[in-house]
Amino acid sequence: MNQDPVATNPELYRVVFENERVRVLEYLDRPGDKTVTHSHPDSVMVTLSSFRRRLSADGREVDVELPAGLARWLPAQSHSGENTGDADTHAIFVELKEPSPDSTSAPDALGPASG
């Protein structure tokens, strides 16, 4: 997984903070916007707006609807996405730079964890 979302989708992702242990990204899009395939390491996603998205990877699709003000674990994954709602998406991703202690954490993850 080496498709940095800031490089693949620079109009949607921007780095707001980075040090040797974490990188914090801000994500902003509008209804109908799509991302090309990109990768996230293990991360915490904080929703700043309510949104609906369709995430796609390896022939699978998942529809996600999340309220504003939620923090969710996002296991390492590659995917593309589309804003399928009628509102802008605004989220923060806190990407962990340290590898997971369990290398089998979620090899087929798509979207945020449910808990």
pLDDT, tens digit, for every residue of 16-37? 999 999 999 999 999 999 999 9
Quote the pLDDT of residue 110: 67
Say what the pLDDT of residue 114 is.
Answer: 59
Model confidence pLDDT, tens digit, residues 63-91:
999 999 999 999 999 999 999 999 999 99
Give the residue-averaged pLDDT of 107-113. Answer: 67
**Residues 51, 85: Cα–Cα separation, whole Å:** 6
User: Binning pLDDT at 50, 70 and 90, where does residue 100 land?
Assistant: confident
| pLDDT classification of 112: cutoffs 50, 70, 90 | confident
The gap between the terminal CA atoms of the chain, to the nearest Å, is 24
Structure confidence at residue 103 as a pLDDT band (50, 70, 90): low
Contact 77, 110 (CB under 8 A): yes
Q: Can you give the pLDDT at residue 101?
A: 75
* Rounded Cα gap, residues 49 and 45, in angstroms: 12
* Burial annotation 25-35 (CB, 10 A radius, 16+ → b, else e): bebebeeebeb
Task: List the domain boundaries for the chain.
Answer: 5-96
Q: What percent of the chain has pLDDT over 90?
A: 83
**Topology at the third CATH level for domain 5-96:** Jelly Rolls (2.60.120)
